[in-house]
């Protein structure tokens, strides 16, 4: 073999060996780096990736639900979105007006409003809450600094139903504005937790780490309210107010044995979904916050106190001065010229003069004590904010005229819930039960956290006295009684009408403005419902409690008894009473 060929072969082998060594060295370097990256620097690389492809922020749970006693939701929080702007990132927007137009189109806003938000020097919200669809539309625009955040929107699915009672929450779903939303804000409010979102190279989220929503959501409230009975009460109250052109009205339906509030209605209504469209007065729960002079609905308590004192007998009769009774230059009047009336007739015909004389027999101090025992002049203790005490001045300040006026419900003021509570005591054989409206607190995962019950009972009159007063009250809705329009077929209604003059800003009574009311309970033998209906300043079709509030009481009672399947006490209404009812309806 020639020498040069041998030399060439040696050179080729040397080059092959060199290349092999170079490849081997390169592989060794790559392998070493791989081992270093995968083993020695794994934690460092993970941290670098997380810095680039992961972000931590805060996530908030859902506000607790408010529902009626049967689980019907009255206030819920639903998934929504919030659109915010980070000013430092938004500085990278090339064409702010164009970006503003795109966002405004997606959110149905004005371009100028969005542009102001994009140019704002601090972090701010463009709009919240918005629907998930709107949030997705904004996210798809991929505008620097504009971010879509998870949010919750408070919704009141029944709209005006129990609006003043439920109240409304603030936009952030944390703070309550009024009603139960405000009173139980600490229970309903959610908390926040850290959330980490990891993204892939294309910008899509691949992993989200956060606390379970149940752990950071607010607890739920279950009420004693029955939404069906609430609807019955609101409809009857609204019809009466519209028919008689009353400025406002209230109605309370209560279980006398337990103190549970089944309905608490206000007119005009309030829709919490549109908080700002209503005045502060309309938003307030007047059934607990507004006090009024009760008029003749107060007379039954005077009679009860007199009987319980022993100074007045069941057989007592009273001379009613033919309709005019003078005390120290002031004359009390009856609507009719009565002579002698029995105790039953005093209530049936609603004699002011007889009740004034009864107050004189028992004395002002005993009258004051009795009214305090029935809960007047003090808060009822219901678990609601804004409750008024009403007005019951100390008896030491009363003269003879003032004592007489208090006896028939003038010069004293009460709330609708106070009146319902006091009438429930008569229904409950003399036991006063405090009213309550929240039944239980339930955790986000459905476990009962706290159960409420009646705050307790207190005897204020003897059972015998209460039962006799019930019989007297039943005569009010019988033929010839002032409350015949509140009578029910098949049930005995125990009630009392009330008509009181309104007081003006100058502390003088208006001559043509009144508070009309009807209060009572049904059925007489085993009372299931105590109901109070109050209409403020009726201007059409009369102003007497019997005419204005009586029919609303009857409608609420009849429909509620039917809904609760309460069996009638009698087969049919007496023929005389049926004829009397028809006669009254024609008037």
**Distance of alpha carbon 146 from the chain centroid:** 37
| Helices assigned H by DSSP within 147-284 | 163-166, 179-183, 185-188, 213-216, 227-243, 280-283
Tracing tokens 């008689």 back to the chain, one arrives at 244
Classify residue 138 by its DSSP letter: H
CA neighbor of 367 nearest in space, from 295, 298, 469, 431:
298
Is the peptide bond between 129 and the residue preceding it cis, with omega within 30 degrees of 0?
A: yes
C-alpha triplet 440, 377, 398: angle, nearest 5°: 170
Catalytic residue among 158, 296, 350, 359: 296
Paired tokens of 27: 């592989």
Paired tokens of 478: 């019988």
Burial class (CB in 10 A: 0-12, 13-18, 19+), 117: buried
Dist. CA 74–CA 68, nearest whole Å: 7
CB contact at 8 A, 560 and 253 = yes
Dist. CA 333–CA 98, nearest whole Å: 78
CB contact at 8 A, 421 and 297 = no
CB within 8 Å of 145: residues ≥ 6 apart: 85, 86, 87, 88, 89, 90, 91, 92, 93, 118
Strands 73-85 and 146-155: antiparallel
DSSP run (H or E) holding 497: strand 494-503
**Distance of alpha carbon 274 from the chain centroid:** 15
Tally Cβ neighbours within 10 Å of residue 314.
13
- Each as own residue / partner, the long-range contacts of residues 90-96 (CB below 8 Å, 24 or more positions apart, any chain) are 90/118, 90/143, 90/144, 90/145, 90/146, 91/144, 91/145, 92/144, 92/145, 93/118, 93/143, 93/144, 93/145
Tracing tokens 């209503």 back to the chain, one arrives at 278
Paired tokens of 136: 């997705």
Strands 220-223 and 66-67: parallel
DSSP run (H or E) holding 292: none
DSSP run (H or E) holding 396: none
Q: Which backbone phi and psi does 108 adopt, to 5 degrees?
A: 60, 50
Active site residue 248: no
Classify residue 411 by its DSSP letter: S
Dist. CA 548–CA 262, nearest whole Å: 22
CB contact at 8 A, 271 and 156 = yes
Burial class (CB in 10 A: 0-12, 13-18, 19+), 196: middle
Active-site residue list: 296
């Amino acid at each position: 073999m020639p020498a040069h060929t041998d030399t060439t072969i040696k050179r080729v082998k040397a080059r092959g060996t060199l290349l092999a060594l170079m490849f081997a060295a390169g592989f060794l370097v790559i392998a070493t780096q791989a081992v270093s990256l995968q083993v020695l620097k794994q934690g460092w690389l993970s941290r670098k990736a997380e810095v680039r492809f992961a972000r931590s922020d805060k996530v908030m749970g859902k506000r607790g639900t408010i529902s009626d006693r049967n689980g019907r939701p009255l206030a819920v929080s639903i998934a929504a979105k919030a659109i915010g702007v980070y000013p430092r990132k938004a500085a990278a927007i090339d064409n702010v007006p164009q970006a503003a137009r795109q966002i405004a189109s997606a959110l149905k806003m004005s371009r100028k409003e969005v542009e102001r938000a994009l140019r704002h020097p601090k972090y701010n919200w463009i709009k919240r809450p918005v629907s998930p669809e709107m949030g997705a539309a904004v996210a798809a625009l991929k505008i620097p600094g504009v971010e879509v955040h998870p949010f919750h929107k408070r919704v009141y699915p029944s709209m005006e139903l129990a609006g003043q009672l439920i109240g409304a929450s603030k936009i952030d779903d944390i703070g309550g504005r009024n009603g139960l939303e405000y009173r139980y804000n600490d229970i309903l409010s959610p908390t926040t937790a850290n959330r980490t979102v990891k993204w892939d190279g294309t910008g899509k989220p691949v992993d989200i780490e956060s606390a379970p929503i149940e752990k950071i959501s607010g607890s739920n409230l279950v009420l004693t309210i029955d939404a069906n009975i609430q609807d019955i009460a609101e409809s009857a109250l609204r019809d009466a107010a519209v028919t008689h052109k009353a400025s406002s009205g209230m109605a309370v339906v209560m279980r006398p044995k337990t103190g549970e509030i089944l309905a608490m209605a206000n007119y005009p209504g309030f829709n919490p979904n549109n908080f700002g469209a209503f005045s502060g007065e309309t938003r307030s729960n007047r059934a607990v916050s507004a006090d009024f002079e009760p008029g003749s609905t107060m007379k039954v308590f005077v009679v009860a106190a007199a009987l319980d004192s022993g100074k007045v007998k069941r057989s007592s009769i009273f001379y009613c001065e033919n309709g005019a009774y003078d005390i120290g230059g002031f004359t009390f009047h009856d609507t009719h010229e009565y002579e002698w009336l029995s105790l039953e007739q005093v209530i049936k015909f609603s004699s002011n003069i007889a009740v004034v004389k009864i107050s004189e027999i028992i004395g002002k101090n005993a009258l004051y004590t009795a009214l305090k025992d029935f809960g007047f002049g003090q808060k009822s203790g219901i678990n609601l904010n804004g409750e008024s005490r009403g007005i019951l001045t100390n008896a030491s300040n009363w003269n003879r005229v003032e004592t007489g006026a208090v006896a028939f419900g003038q010069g004293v003021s009460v709330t609708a819930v106070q009146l319902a509570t006091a009438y429930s005591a008569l229904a409950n054989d003399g036991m006063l039960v405090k009213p309550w409206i929240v039944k239980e607190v339930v955790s986000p995962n459905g476990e009962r956290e706290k159960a409420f019950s009646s705050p307790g009972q207190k005897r204020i009159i003897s059972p015998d006295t209460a039962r006799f007063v019930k019989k007297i009250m039943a005569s009010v809705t019988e033929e010839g009684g002032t409350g015949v329009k509140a009578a029910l077929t098949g049930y005995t209604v125990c009630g009392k009408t009330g008509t009181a003059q309104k007081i003006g800003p100058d502390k003088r009574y208006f001559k043509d403005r009144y508070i009309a009311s009807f209060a009572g309970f049904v059925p007489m033998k085993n009372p299931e419902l105590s109901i109070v209906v109050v209409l403020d300043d009726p201007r059409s079709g009369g102003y007497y409690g019997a005419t204005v509030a009586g029919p609303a009481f009857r409608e609420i009672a009849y429909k509620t008894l039917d809904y609760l399947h309460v069996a009638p006490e009698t087969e049919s209404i007496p023929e005389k009473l049926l004829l009397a009812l028809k006669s009254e309806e024609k008037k």
